[in-house]
Chain A
Amino acid sequence: MSAAGGVPGSGHEVPGGTWRGISFEDRMATVEFRVGERAHITVDSEVCRSCTTKACVTACPANLFAPTSGGGILFNYEECFECGTCYMVCNHEGAITWTYPDGGLGVVFHQG
């Protein structure tokens, strides 16, 4: 990194100048979440067991869905962007139930 550029820190670059060095935890740590006690996402893992695509696992930008060894889906609602990708890509009616978190809770974007 060039000192003449006046850029502080070394960024998230790894040697070789690539950006893949940001861990997903570090990435999500940049986002404010005011976590409520009520889960605003629910998943019917029974339905997921018959799902062959499990599109939510890769498409969710917050990486909240993980396949279980039993063929179901394990999910986490706490660091959710509230975007709606999961229920829109889900091809099984009723597998993912999605509402907004309670008022004032959930994601708070400052740089949106």
Chain B
Amino acid sequence: MDKGDMVPTPGVSSDTPGFDAVVVGAGPAGSAAALALARAGRSVVLVERGPFPGSKNVYGGVVYGRVLDEVVPEWWNEVPVERWVVRRSTMMMTGSQSVSVDYRSAAWGEVPYNGMTTLRSRFDNWLATKAVEAGAQLVTSTVATGLLRDAHGRIVGVRTDRDRGELRANVVVACDGVNSFLAKEAGLMPPAEASHHTLGVKEVLDLPGHVIDERFGLRRSEGVDIEMLGCTRGIPGGGFLYTNSDTVSLGVVLSLPHLAEAKVRPEELIADLKNHPSVAPYLRGATLREYAAHLIPEGGYDTMPTMVTDGMLVAGDAAAMTLAAGLWLEGVNFAIGSGLAAGRAVDRAIAAGDCSAKGLASYRSDLEGQFVLADHKRFRKAPALVLSERIQQRYPGLICDLVDGMFTVTNPVPKPGGVRLTRSVAAKHGVKLRQLAADTVRALKVFG
């Protein structure tokens, strides 16, 4: 069996004395938890099922880095960044039109930056290496296959698929991703609910760096983030395009039950997007480097699992901590924030000699008091709004036709007035002005 491509893998056996904590999953949440624990002087083993950290992970991808201030001072000097996002564009589109709201900031290209494009095989490995340097023991190519419980039913570690591979610990930190088998086994999460998940499919396309610079109006190390609405044949979701150093990441995110119902294959929607007249010119001549897919837990605050039980807590995607609130699309920052908080909570619980749910409860209150849960709570109604029928299927076309009506010169026919134009365009798209007003109020409430 492969013992890990990038990080040395120590042996695992039942002879190994118990750890203070076993962290399952060396993604951003798990590595952050292991790092916090190791820095607190706790013994921690970090179990990763892939051959190296990041090998099972896919995202859009932008990481918002300020959460790393707590991890490494001046992290921007060493993080494996592709490009710093200085341009963020929201594109509303139909099959042949698009309207973009395009923001560009010089400040986003300077320390401490805002968002960065990076690839998970590099970023996750970098963060795991920080945990290892702090003293965590990383074990790759190892699946945590189930929970170990004592006679009272309390969780006391995990089983792995290694020979004699039981790992005993005071606390298990489950950072095992969107499908979290450990959270389900612990009874913290109901059975998988398709409606709380989206499928992300992505193509990474080779395109020389200087071509990316020219096509997107960038200087080296500057990047762009384009989010798209109205490009998924009515399936709730959206599209994205991010520039990396010498590649472009392009894909779509699709509501699972609606994708299933539509009987459309995901890669056909990517093909649609690549052929769109507003997107195709950016990609001319680009070749496919890697195709990928991953689920996203998009249900938001109200669909999060119970986060703490006796001897275990849950962080990152396993706790549904992605903010897919339309205008904001974040996840890695929440994973890191929740992982750090989990590590701190476990350290406090061990110090107090109480690793029960009660002893670990400070995890939740810590998260509520900072961005991790505060942001999710603020935008708890956003997923339902953003994925609603009018936002998804009617407004992109309505907005495109409004702009078309304003700027298409129809001589000798006189220009329509704004009110008449709005009325006729809304009617064409089956939207009543009353609904438009109600949705505006709702959006102000959800995002306000």
Contacts and interface: CB of A to CB of B under 8 A. Distances in A.
Given A19-B274, A24-B267, A89-B260, A5 B211 contact: yes
Interface in A64-109: 81-85, 87-89, 99-109
In which size bucket is the chain B interface?
35 or more
Contact of A61 (B4, B178, B199, B249): B199
A66 to B, nearest CB: 13
Interface string B14-43: 000000000000000000000000000000
Interface stretch (B104-112, B286-294, B395-403, B424-432): B286-294
Interface string B118-142: 0111000000000000000000111
B271 A7 contact: no
Given A100-B49, A103-B161, A88 B192 contact: yes
Contact of B292 (A5, A31, A59, A106): A31
A7 B251 CA distance: 21
Interface in B286-331: 286-295
Interface residues of A, number: 52
Interface stretch (B70-78, B94-102, B167-175, B201-209): B201-209
A81 to B, nearest CB: 4
A81 B308 CA distance: 29
Contacts of A50: none
Contacts of B54: 109, 112
Contact of B289 (A30, A34, A106): A30
Interface stretch (B55-63, B221-229, B333-341, B440-448): B55-63
Given A61-B266, A103-B1, 13 more contacts: A1-B285, A5-B214, A8-B208, A22-B288, A27-B267, A30-B289, A31-B290, A82-B56, A85-B256, A85-B293, A87-B192, A102-B143, A104-B50
Interface of B: 1-4, 49-51, 54-59, 119-121, 140-143, 160-162, 178-179, 181, 192-194, 197, 199, 201-202, 204, 207-208, 210-211, 214, 247, 249, 256-257, 259-267, 271, 274-275, 280, 283-295
